[in-house]
């Protein structure tokens, strides 16, 4: 019994000391992880990072550091971690391949929230859809169209594809093409167009509106008209100019051509 006690007591001292050290390292490591997590969260909240991304990144940092602390503690106890790490990596690879589409959308959501190519309330054209951004989520972005439809776009394609944001600039250029008939007075048409632009107070004079004869088409002489307006006035000015041109050209004796065909009979 005395020999057994001596043998086991030495083992208890040997492994007990290592266990105590490992527990201390574990507790100290978890305490440091919590400090790092809190500091990182404060920095993200003070920075320009989107508020919806902060909880996820905080959890990611916390879990990653805790896994490192646990692996280091088990290594101090003499447990071989190489096989475990290899197994963990293989499992992560398998899960990543199975969720490749979801992970792509997740990564796209993170990129959108960090770099902010658009924000909630912006009017955008992306992935074949136009609408106002209602909400930016981790996996999807939700748009509301002009006719009150809800469009859900995965963030993966949205972050890597082409996108037009109509809300980043305070002004926009409105473009029209108006045609008159061959034989009509071109100078008079330009004068009428300029008068209509000047009459609309929403049209900005700096930059100055531009009017030019752009094309001698098959059935019409076309004028290109360009004017700058505040972004919020774009559609109002666009529709108003179309209506005013239609009403005014007729009064001024200017013809608006439409597709037609002349048939000549030869005896």
Q: Are 102 and 139 contacting, i.e. CB atoms less than 8 angstroms apart?
A: yes
Confidence of residue 244 (pLDDT cuts 50, 70, 90): very high
Pairing of strands 140-144, 163-165: unpaired
Q: What is the mean pLDDT of the chain?
A: 83
CATH node for 171-251: 3.30.70.100
Name, in order, each residue with C-beta under 8 angstroms of 162's C-beta and a sequence gap of 6 or more.
126
Fold of 2-98: Helix Hairpins (1.10.287)
Query: Hey, what long-range contacts does 80-86 have (CB within 8 A, 24 or more apart)?
Result: none
Q: In what side-by-side order are the strands of the sheet with 210-216?
A: 171-180, 221-230, 210-216
Residue 173 banded pLDDT, cuts 50, 70, 90:
very high
Percent of the chain topping pLDDT 70? 81
Residue-wise pLDDT for 227-243, tens only, equals 999 999 999 999 999 99
Dihedral of CA 85/86/89/91: which sign? negative
Average pLDDT over residues 179-194: 95
Q: Which fold has domain 118-165?
A: SH3 type barrels. (2.30.30)
pLDDT of the residue at 157:
87
Name which of 65, 77, 154, 151 is nearest 112 in CA terms. Answer: 154
CATH 2.30.30.60 maps onto the chain at 118-165
Q: What is the pLDDT of residues 113-126, one digit of tens each?
A: 778 888 888 999 99
Fill in the DSSP letter of residue 65.
H
Q: Which of 134, 137, 139, 140 has the alpha carbon at shortest distance from 153?
A: 140
Higher pLDDT, 101 or 148: 148
Whether pLDDT at 150 is above 70: yes
Which residues of the chain are in CATH 1.10.287.1260 domains?
A: 2-98
Give the tens place of pLDDT for each residue, 3-52.
Answer: 655 555 555 555 666 677 778 888 888 888 888 888 888 887 777 666 66
- pLDDT bucket at 209, cuts 50 / 70 / 90: very high
């Amino acid at each position: 019994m005395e020999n057994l006690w001596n043998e086991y007591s030495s083992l208890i001292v040997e492994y007990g000391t290592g266990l105590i050290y490992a527990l201390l390292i574990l507790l100290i490591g978890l305490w440091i992880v919590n400090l790092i997590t809190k500091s990182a969260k404060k920095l993200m909240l003070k920075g320009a990072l989107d508020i919806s991304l902060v909880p996820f990144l905080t959890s990611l940092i916390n879990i990653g550091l805790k896994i490192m602390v646990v692996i280091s503690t088990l290594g101090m106890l003499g447990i071989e971690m190489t096989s475990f790490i290899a197994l963990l990596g293989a499992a992560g690879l398998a899960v990543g391949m199975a969720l490749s589409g979801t992970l792509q959308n997740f990564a796209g959501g993170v990129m959108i929230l960090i770099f902010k190519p658009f924000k909630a309330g912006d009017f955008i054209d992306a992935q074949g859809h136009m609408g106002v951004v209602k909400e930016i989520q981790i996996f999807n972005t939700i748009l509301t169209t002009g006719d009150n439809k809800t469009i859900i776009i995965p963030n993966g394609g949205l972050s890597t594809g082409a996108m037009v944001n109509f809300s980043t600039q305070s002004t926009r250029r409105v473009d029209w093409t108006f045609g008159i008939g061959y034989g009509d007075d071109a100078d008079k048409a330009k004068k009428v167009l300029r008068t209509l632009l000047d009459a609309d107070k929403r049209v900005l004079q700096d930059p100055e509106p531009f009017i030019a004869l752009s094309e001698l088409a098959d059935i019409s002489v076309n004028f290109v008209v360009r004017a700058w307006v505040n972004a919020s006035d774009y559609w109002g000015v666009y529709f108003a100019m179309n209506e005013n041109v239609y009403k005014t050209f007729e009064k001024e004796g200017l013809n608006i051509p439409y597709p037609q065909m002349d048939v000549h009979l030869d005896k």
